C-alpha cells in the first residue's frame, strides 16, 4: 500500500473506534497487550482514537509470556505512551485446573485454552470498572481459519483490525513506527511452553494462507492445484471447516407455534 493509502486507512480505523465509543457511551478502550504486532497495532489505533486507552499484559504459565512477550509488550506501551499494567494469571490457571481436574480430567487442548479465557475475564473486569470497551486484537487471517479461542481472545466488544490480513497488519504497524523487534518476531500465540510458532501449529505461513484465502474466494479448491499449493489449500479448508462454529451465531432453538399448541 502507498503511504497515503496507509494514512487514510489509519484515519478510517480511528473514526470507526470513535463512533463505537460514542454509540456505546463508553469512556475508553482496554486491550490485551501480548507484545505482538496485532495487539500493538490495536493499542496504537485505540490511543489515536481516545487518550483513555489501557493495556493489560497477562502472562500465564508459558515462559515466553514472561520473556519476549512481556518485554515487547512493555516496549510498545512505553513507545506509544499507553498506560499498561501486568496481571499474572499463572496462579489463577493452576487453581482452576486443580479444581476442575479434581472432578474431571482435562484434555491438553482444553487446558491450553484456559489462559485466553482467563484473559478475556480479566479484560472485562478491568473494562467494566473503567467504563471502557474491550478492543479485540484478532486479524482477518486468524478469523478465517478460526485460529482463536472461542470466548477467549474471540470475546471482545469490537474488532479494529478484523478485516486485515497478517501481511496488511505488518504494513500498517510498520507505517506507524512499531519497534523493529516486534515487527520481526515470529508470530506465536505463546500458549505452549516450547514456544510453538503459528506456522508450526497451522502447518503453513500466513502469506501461504492468505494466498489460499484468495483462491477460495475465487471459487477454487485443492483439486485445482498440485504439490505444496494443493497442501496449503487442504490445510486452509480443513481449518476453516473445523472452526466454522466459532464464526457462526449461537444456534437458537425455534419451535414452531403449531407444535407448541399440540
Q: Is the pLDDT of residue 255 over 90?
A: no
pLDDT at 261: 66
DSSP string, 132-163: EEEBP---HHHHHHT-S-TTTTT--SB-TTTT
Distance of CA 111 to the CA centre of its chain: 18
223-248 confidence digits (pLDDT tens): 999 999 999 999 999 999 999 888 88
- Model confidence pTM above 0.75: yes
Q: Is 179 exposed, middle or buried (0-12, 13-18, 19+ CB in 10 A)?
A: middle
- Contact (CB, 8 A) for 203 and 224: no
Kindly tell me the burial class for residue 232, based on how many C-beta atoms sit within 10 Å of its own C-beta (0-12, 13-18, 19 or more).
buried
The three-point CA angle 254-260-262 to 5° equals: 145
Per-residue pLDDT of 164-222, as tens digits, reads 999 999 999 999 999 999 998 888 766 776 667 888 889 999 999 999 999 999 999 99
Task: Kindly list the strands in the beta sheet with 28-32, ordered across the sheet, starting from the edge strand earlier in the chain.
Answer: 83-86, 53-57, 28-32, 132-134
Which residues, 6+ apart, have CB-to-CB distance to 23 below 8 Å? none
What backbone phi and psi angles, to 5 degrees, belong to 216?
Answer: -65, -40
**56 pLDDT above the threshold of 70:** yes
Concatenating the DSSP letter of every residue in 84-108 gives: EEE---HHHHHHHHHHHHTTS---H
Average pLDDT score over residue span 134-160: 93
Q: What is the pLDDT of residue 1?
A: 62
Enter the DSSP assignment of 222: G
CA R_g for the chain: 20
Q: What is the pLDDT of residue 61?
A: 83
* DSSP string over 43-92: HHHHHHH-S-EEEEE---S-HHIIIIIHHHHHHHHHHTT-EEEE---HHH
Amino acid at each position: 500500500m502507498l503511504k497515503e493509502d496507509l494514512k487514510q486507512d489509519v484515519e478510517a480505523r480511528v473514526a470507526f473506534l470513535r463512533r463505537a465509543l460514542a454509540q456505546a457511551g463508553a469512556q475508553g478502550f482496554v486491550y490485551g497487550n501480548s507484545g505482538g504486532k496485532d495487539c500493538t497495532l490495536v493499542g496504537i489505533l485505540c490511543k489515536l482514537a481516545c487518550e483513555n486507552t489501557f493495556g493489560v499484559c497477562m502472562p500465564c504459565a508459558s515462559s515466553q509470556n514472561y520473556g519476549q512477550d512481556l518485554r515487547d509488550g512493555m516496549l510498545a506501551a512505553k513507545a506509544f505512551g499507553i498506560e499498561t499494567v501486568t496481571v499474572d494469571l499463572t496462579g489463577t490457571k493452576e487453581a482452576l485446573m486443580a479444581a476442575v481436574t479434581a472432578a474431571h480430567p482435562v484434555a491438553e487442548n482444553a487446558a491450553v485454552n484456559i489462559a485466553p479465557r482467563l484473559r478475556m475475564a480479566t479484560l472485562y473486569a478491568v473494562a467494566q470498572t473503567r467504563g471502557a470497551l474491550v478492543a479485540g486484537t484478532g486479524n482477518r487471517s486468524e478469523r478465517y481459519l478460526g485460529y482463536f479461542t472461542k470466548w477467549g481472545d474471540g470475546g471482545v466488544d469490537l474488532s479494529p483490525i478484523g478485516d486485515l490480513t497478517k501481511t496488511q497488519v505488518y504494513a500498517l504497524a510498520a507505517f506507524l513506527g512499531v519497534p523493529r523487534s516486534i515487527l520481526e518476531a515470529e508470530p506465536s500465540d505463546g500458549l505452549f511452553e516450547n514456544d510453538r510458532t503459528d506456522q508450526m501449529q497451522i502447518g503453513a505461513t500466513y502469506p501461504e494462507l492468505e494466498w489460499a484465502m484468495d483462491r477460495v474466494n475465487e471459487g477454487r479448491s485443492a483439486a485445482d492445484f498440485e504439490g505444496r499449493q494443493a497442501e496449503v489449500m487442504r490445510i486452509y479448508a480443513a481449518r476453516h471447516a473445523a472452526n466454522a462454529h466459532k464464526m457462526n451465531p449461537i444456534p437458537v432453538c425455534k419451535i414452531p407455534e403449531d407444535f407448541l399448541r399440540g
